[in-house]
Structure 1
Amino acid sequence: MNKSFQFKEFEVHQDRCAMKIGTDSVLLGAWTSIDKNPQSILDIGAGTGVLALMLAQRSGAELIDAIEIDDEAYEQCVENFEQSPWSDRLFCYHASLQEFVAEIEEKYDLIISNPPFYSDSYKSDNQQRDLARFVDALPFRHLIESVSKLLSHQGTFSVVIPFSEEKNFIALASKEHLFPSKILRVKGAPTSEIKRSLLQFSFEEMAIDPNELIIETERHKYTDAYIRLTKDFYVKM
């Protein structure tokens, strides 16, 4: 059932990845601003490679790199890149973020990440899935410090995290002179609590008003705002 996910312009195989494609990644890939026409993009913790593939579809960036530490996910990401219409622009590194920062001198115009963010209490018997899902595999502080070194001066950093971590994440980012330029808070339904925060950062401090997105009015009845945001990707809505 989880072998592949068909989008309008590309297909993603996911049978070897611990983390399957979910709403978080699709929202982040569709919502992230490309107004500055980024020429170089980096996806940190690529998994299937879906974020890099979405940005390849949306942008004209000549260089789209991804990093993935897990062996199986890395191999699957490479296959998904090779089978896509944009294989000449996509490249995945098999490395930890720490190794990547130490070796790469490239600065990226846009960095995107759907990082792991579950606490110890959620740990399962599946080590591969745990590595993909748990924050100790990629602590937020380590992610933010690395981004500050890899991001170009005018660049943007885009991330999805639990809403409960929003304040803490913004505070950590400010220590690296990264400030929010756009915030979207996501609710599953009108009466639900806010579940996710999509955050975009830059090195420029500015006043912003957070926006809110509701995904469904009822089960499988998607809101107009959600349909508008994801219409270029989902085959059926």
Structure 2
Amino acid sequence: AAHAAAEAAEQALRRIEETRPDGTEALADAAIRRLERTIQDGHARLAALRQEMAAREARIRAAEGDGLDERIAAQERLRAAHAAEEAACRREVAILQCLRDAVAAAERAATGRYLAPLARAIQPALGALFPRAVATVEPDFSISALSRRLDEPFVNLSDGTREQIAVLARLGLADLMRARGRPAMLVLDDALTYADSGRLDRMFDILTEAAGRLQILILTCRTELFTGLGARRLAVEPAG
């Protein structure tokens, strides 16, 4: 029995040794005192925060008596006024967008009405120069593309082709004005400078046919280029 009691005491001692903190008793006492001071400081700060909270609550109650509710209500009214103004602006934006769309639709319709006759006026001469070709006319009367076997942007065409199409577009516009009873003439300044002989002869035929219904004036410093036109030659001479 004594040996068993001694063995149990030794096991208890080993457990105590294992759980005993590091350091001396003096260090343990110092840690205890430090933690006690920390707890006391925490209690003091908690008391100070409670006093500060009470003071703030008192100020809030005093501010309520100074008309805080009235100021809140005024801000609410101001917010409602801003919301109404925003709604009015949104309605105005919707109206303006609707008006813009209507104007754009009317503009497209009007553009189609005056561009279609121009495209038809250009087409006979264009077909004579470029068989089965169709030109795309823009609202500013410019040619943006030429459709033959495929669609070709105007900027990708050769200089001669662009120049010839530009002459045909001006000729078509003059015919359109004449058909509406407005006097029109065609003035070309150093045109057809890039045309080859075959295209040049065809353009001469087109201009000769058009000269039967409107006046065409060609200004050039290359008179030899237009000898095959068979037109009346004019010259500017000094008077007196």
User: Which structure has greater helix proportion?
Assistant: 2
TM-score norm. by structure 2 comes to 0.28
Higher relative contact order (CA 8 A, sep 6+): 1
Larger Rg: 2
TM-score norm. by structure 1 comes to 0.28
User: Which structure has greater strand proportion?
Assistant: 1
